[in-house]
Amino acid sequence: MRWRLMAAFMAVTFVVVVVQDVPLGNYLMQVERERITTSLERDAFLLAGRSEDTLEARTGIDPALAADTRRYHRASGARVVIVDADGTAVLTSDDDQSSAGASYLSRPEISAALSGQITSGQRRSDSLGTDLLYVTVPVLSGESVVGAVRLTYPAQVVTDQVHRQLRMLWLVAGITVLLAGIVAVLIAGPVTRRLQQLRRTTEQLAEGDLAARTPEHAGAPEIRSLARSFNRMADRLEYLLRQQRAFAGDASHQLRTPLTALRLRLDSAADLVESEPDAARSTLASAQDEALRLQHIIDALLVLSRADDAGTAPQQIDLAEIARTRVEQWAPLADESDVRLTVTAPTAAPTFAVPGAAEQIIDNLLDNALAVSDPGSTIEVTVAPVAAADVVDLHVLDQGPGLSPQDCLRAFDRFWRARTDTEGSGLGLAIVAQLARASGATAELLPRTPNGGLDAHVRFRAPAYR
């Protein structure tokens, strides 16, 4: 990844440099040509002023003007041609004056200057075999054109000058691309190290090391966020695997006893079918009871398993309406046991819980309360919003024998039962605790004093009250 990132940085930088330097090279070419043209125009006007008297008098070549022309040629590299009004060269910058006396009237720029126009541009010179930059200005005496001055400059000189500047630009561009690669390596180093560390942690987790975690406080913000997400996933995975192992262990332990008892009763009934039919029927009835108990344990284990795996986000519910509905459903069973069932709740009590959790919590608490309530006693279900804390309290109060404070803490353990002679599976309160955790709620058992019994208290989160 480090080398791919470096290559990407360098490629992007190279593209940016090319996009920037190519137009810049063209601009430099244009600027350099305009600079030289402007300089040539200025010098041409100066030479035109110096040669005005000579061209007007037609007295021959002025030695001082000839010397100035040659010095200018040697200093600037530009070739000078001065022509009279007929287009005949009277002075050139060549030391041998080989072009003096030749007619330049066929040159378009000379003809234009003799007509009073200032011309400049670039054209191909067939005699020299190269491109030339030229500037031609008329020599005026009053309103009359008495000659013209032409300065020519090799276009290759301009190109060479621009190329020298471009070479410097491309050298800077190359250094920039190289620096981009170095910066990419420096940036990619910490990122790849953190990703490699995360990969190693993933491999450790895949190999069964559930305690493997990756540091969360190093690297870029995105890497730290990824590390936190990974650790949350690892925590959740560890929790689910431990719950799965605990579920498997608890299920195998708790199912072994009823299955053994069921097998023994069935074997005994098979032995008594022919010799003692009545005893066989009694044994089969006991086997049916044991099978029913086994079914209850399996149902409770399945409910608890689904509660452990609950990944649904809590949703807003009306706890008061649910409490009234569940009490109404349990009232006939309470009447059969001669137990009075009451509910006290406001008109509405909005809370948060996973779907179906509140109903199962109330059902399990009422089931436990009815199992320990004597005839003539009362079970109270209350829903009480606590506006100051943004919570809603659910209480299921019974008048049974109660539990010690120590047993109240242990009651939420799986398969724990206060007495071994009861028919319960020992999973009801474990289901309550798990559903409460999934809903962001808390569950506890509190001894009731002084009349005895238990207060099964579940505190739900609620929307902020205003």
State whether residue 327 is helix, strand or coil.
helix
Average pLDDT over residues 216-244: 79
On the question of a cis peptide bond just before residue 450, with omega within 30 degrees of 0, the verdict is yes
DSSP annotation of 426: S
- Residue with the two structure tokens 């072009």: 99
Q: Which residues of 398-421 are buried (b: 16+ CB within 10 A; e: fewer)?
A: bbbebbeeeebeebbebbebbeee
Residue 169: pLDDT over 60: yes
pLDDT of amino acid 364:
85
pLDDT of amino acid 343:
93
> Where residue 258 falls among pLDDT bands split at 50, 70, 90?
low
Strand partners, 83: 89, 148
Which residues have C-beta within 8 Å of that of residue 68, sequence separation ≥ 6? Answer: 47, 50
pLDDT of amino acid 466:
42
Q: Higher pLDDT residue, 280 or 367? A: 367
CA distance 190 to 178: 20
Average pLDDT over residues 302-316: 65
For 348, the token pair is 């509405």
How many of the other CB atoms lie within 10 Å of CB of 444? 15
> Where residue 297 falls among pLDDT bands split at 50, 70, 90?
low
Strand partners, 124: 131
pLDDT of amino acid 294:
67
Could you tell me how far CA 62 lies from the centroid of its own chain?
82
Ranges assigned E (strand) in 268-426: 315-318, 340-344, 350-353, 378-386, 391-397
pLDDT of amino acid 5:
61
Q: Which residues of 82-94 are buried (b: 16+ CB within 10 A; e: fewer)?
A: bbbbebebbbbbb
Average pLDDT over residues 48-65: 80
Q: What is the pLDDT of residues 283-294, one digit of tens each?
A: 777 777 667 666
Q: Which residues of 277-292 are buried (b: 16+ CB within 10 A; e: fewer)?
A: eeebeebbebbeebbe
Q: What is the pLDDT of residues 394-436, one digit of tens each?
A: 999 998 888 888 888 777 776 666 554 455 556 678 878 888 8
Residue 241: pLDDT over 90: no
Please work out, in degrees rounded to the nearest 5, the angle formed at the alpha carbon of residue 363 by the alpha carbons of 360 and 365.
Answer: 110
CA distance 270 to 356: 44
Q: How far apart, in Å, do the first and last CA atoms of the chain sit?
A: 54
Average pLDDT over residues 116-133: 80
The answer to pTM > 0.75 is: no
Asked whether the CA dihedral 57, 59, 60, 65 is positive or negative, the reply is negative
CA distance 16 to 11: 9
